[in-house]
Structure 1
Amino acid sequence: MSKIAVLGAGSWGTVLANLLTDNGQNVYLWTHSADQAQTLTTTHMNEHYLGDFKLNPDLQITANLETAIGDASVILFVVPTNAVRSVAEQVQPFLAAQPSWRPILAHAAKGLEKGTELRVSQVIDEVIKPELTSGLVVISGPSHAEDVATHDITTLTAASTSLAAAKSIQKLFMNDYFRLYTNQDVLGVEMGAALKNVIAIGAGALHGLGYGDNTKAALLTRGLAEITRLGVKMGADPLTFIGLSGVGDLIVTGTSVHSRNWRAGNALGQGETLANVLANMGMVVEGVSTAKVVHGLAAELGVEMPISDAIYRVLYEDAPLKQVIADLMKRDGKPEFDFEIETL
């Protein structure tokens, strides 16, 4: 039995911790809130995020970070993207004090750090030097916590430059409803995971405006082209974007009411202000901050991303949704595939 520390008691962290406990692992779920830790321990529920879903009573919950991570063979970060650095900074001294203890680090966050434009694995590597670990694994793909909680069949990617570390994570998680595939394209997996949140806001906005299936299919397909274009420019394998962390994650996030990014876009399409949407969501909408990062990256790398740019304009420049849609449709005609992607 392995000891696993799951850092972050939101919906996804709670469900993953519970799954690992069901799989027979010794799991500690860490939350920064002592009140939340007490409530979860007493009620065996995380009502704020998961309603009346009952947690495995063997899942251990704590607000003490040292208790959670001490001697863990795996430390899994499941906190919002812009909280990863601060949590990693709290973990780092414990690992540095015991150089012979080299856990696998993993994360299941989906975003790019605001201000640095770094992927989550880069943030962790910057704070916790690789020599203190046995590898860093990215867990990503089409998944909603609510569906995993009800044992809906789910397939994800475990991506790492260390195939041994990826296989270790794969073995820990797999069961009769949860399956992981290994992948060594960390950059592509993380970019697909982050960028689809931006496109999902657009998909939700189209629904809120009353557009039909043709329009939604057009947005998701051309959105995937943009994701691929930027990812390949950064060095990712184009095949990653037709896999679970590309088209798979885009489908589930861009079509489901469980997606907070889709819900945020839907509310914008119905006329709500961004401030009200974020205030009422109750959870982090990763696509909002990622849209700003992507806007900067696309400009820096000279990558054309008209849909992502339109969503940025709506979120940060108060551009009217119907106007940006009209602007997109009036652009000059172009081939479906640009030369750079075609030749890869």
Structure 2
Amino acid sequence: MNKVTFIGGGSFGTALAILLANKGYEPNIWDREEAVVDEINNKRTNSKYIKDVIIPSGVTASNNIEDAIKDADFVVLTVPSHIIRTVCKNFKEFIPKKAIIVNVAKGIEEGTNLRLSEIIKEELPNNPVVVMSGPTHAEEVAVGLPTTIVVSSEQMDKAELVQELFMCDCFRVYTNDDLIGVEIGGAVKNIIALVAGVSDGIGYGDNSKAALMARGLMEITRIGTALGAKPETFIGLTGMGDLIVTCTSMHSRNRKAGILIGQGYSMDEAVEHVGMVVEGIKACKAFHELKDKMQVSMPITDNLYDILFNGKDPKVAGSDLMERDKKHENH
């Protein structure tokens, strides 16, 4: 049976490890925090990241990266997007050349504007890279509630191996050869989810959120197709599917942070209150820079950027979005 190692013992890494253990695998989780590792091994819980879930005995955890990753067939990166390069660089000497790298983080790199698969390829040029993305909150995956996800790669035969690895009766895995679209859809939807949370925090209604989601999907499609993605990808799981769940669920860190910002909290206060990485903040900064380079119109992203980094009042941002010049819906 294949050896699978998860780099990062957060909520989604733990949830996917539970899924594999329930399929009969014996996955290993590496995490830098000794307390997390000890709790997984000794109490069969991970209360810091995923509460009220018992972790099967087949899952083990380790602080020793060399032991954790030795002979791994699949190395699953379940760390935040902004440390993907650092993790790959620091651990490359331990990663087996045969291992398929599976990335579940969503975002692009600030400064370079590289997609995460491109970063991984730079640091680990000998390893095939597969991306997983879709509407999969860890809290539901961990307890076996039905969900679906997409895998993509430049080497689709490797994506099919990852599909086979994770596919089960509660976790349906599709393949999609549009790697750019899969990655961009998963990254930009975090920006829109933050804005949807801001709307909720202000006290706007369901109509407002529906409008933000629909127009947000347009922004995802605009920047994605400008980068070479297929437009149809964004009406699928990694576009519309992920957007719906992240904008509406209270499992969403981005929505939670947005609600607090809409209620008057600062960005830093909101992040501290959520207690975990809010990917939409870094995505907003990165895509605000990228869309200017690409000359792509993203007014929702522009206004969120001003709220987060220039102190713009969220209600003023809402008014500015509503009062823009008239235009055709498809432009």
Identify the TM-score tier after normalising by the shorter chain: over 0.9
1:112-152 CA distance string (max 9 Å, x none): 222322211111111111xx22x211010011000111211
CA distance in 1, matches of 2:135, 2:35: 31
In the alignment, the residues of structure 2 paired with residue 208 and residue 94 of structure 1 have an alpha-carbon distance, to the nearest angstrom, of 45
Give the secondary structure class of the aligned counterpart of 1:267.
Answer: helix
Contact 2:153/2:177 (8 A) holds in 1: yes
1:15 corresponding residue in structure 2: 15
The one-letter amino acid paired with 1:123 is: I
Write the mapping of 1:1-344 to structure 2, written as runs, cut at 5 A. Answer: 1-95=1-95, 101-129=97-125, 132-133=126-127, 135-338=128-331
What is the TM-score normalised by the length of structure 2? 0.98
> Aligned partner of 1:106: which letter?
V
Contact preservation (8 Å) 1:295, 1:308: yes
Residue ranges of structure 2 left out of the alignment (5+ in a row):
none
Letter in 2 for 1:28: N
Question: What is the one-letter code of the residue matched to 1:33?
Answer: E
Kindly indicate whether the alpha-carbon contact (under 8 Å) linking 1:23 and 1:172 is maintained by their aligned counterparts in 2: no
Percentage of pairs with the same residue: 43
Distance 1:91 1:237 in 2: 33
SS of equivalent to 1:283: coil
Q: Deviations over 1:148-178 (max 9, x none)?
A: 1121110000111211111100111011110
Indicate conservation of the 8 Å contact 2:14/2:142, yes or no: no
The one-character-per-residue Cα deviations of 1:18-69 (angstroms, maximum 9, x if unpaired) are 1111111231111012232112211110001111210011101111111111
What SS does structure 2 have at the residue aligned with 1:49? coil
Distance 2:157 2:202 in 1: 47
Alignment match, 1:342: none
CA contact (8 A) 1:191 1:227 kept: yes
**Alignment length, in residue pairs?**
331
Which residue identity is paired with 1:283? M
| 1:323 shift after superposition | 0.6
- Report which stretch shifted further, 274-283 or 232-241: 274-283
Aligned partners of 1:203 and 1:254 also within 8 Å = yes
Tell me, in whole angstroms, the C-alpha distance in 2 between the residues paired with 1:273 and 1:102.
45
**What amino acid sits opposite 1:215 in the alignment?**
S
Once the 2 structures are TM-superposed, how far is the Cα of residue 219 of structure 1 from its aligned partner? 0.3
The alignment partner of 1:297 has SS state of: helix
Alpha-carbon distance in structure 1 between the residues aligned to 2:91 and 2:25: 21
| AA of the residue aligned to 2:81 | T
* Cα-to-partner distance string for 1:94-129 (whole Å, 9 max, x where unaligned): 24xx6xx41111110011222322211111111111
Contact 1:295-1:312 at 8 Å conserved across structures: yes
* Separation in structure 2 between the aligned mates of residue 268 and residue 280 of structure 1, nearest angstrom: 11
Runs of 4+ in 1 over 4 A off after TM superposition: none
The CA distance in 2 between the partners of 1:105 and 1:282, in whole Å, is 27
Q: 1 CA distance for matches of 2:322 and 2:280?
A: 23
Assess if the C-alpha contact under 8 Å between 1:261 and 1:287 holds in 2: yes
Q: Distance in 1 between matches of 2:214 and 2:223?
A: 15
- In the TM superposition, residue 325 of structure 1 has moved relative to its aligned partner by 0.9
Question: What one-letter code is carried by the residue in structure 2 that aligns with 1:23?
Answer: K
The Cα RMSD (Å) is: 1.0
Q: CA deviation at 1:93?
A: 1.5
Mapped partners of 1:91, 1:186: distance in 2: 24
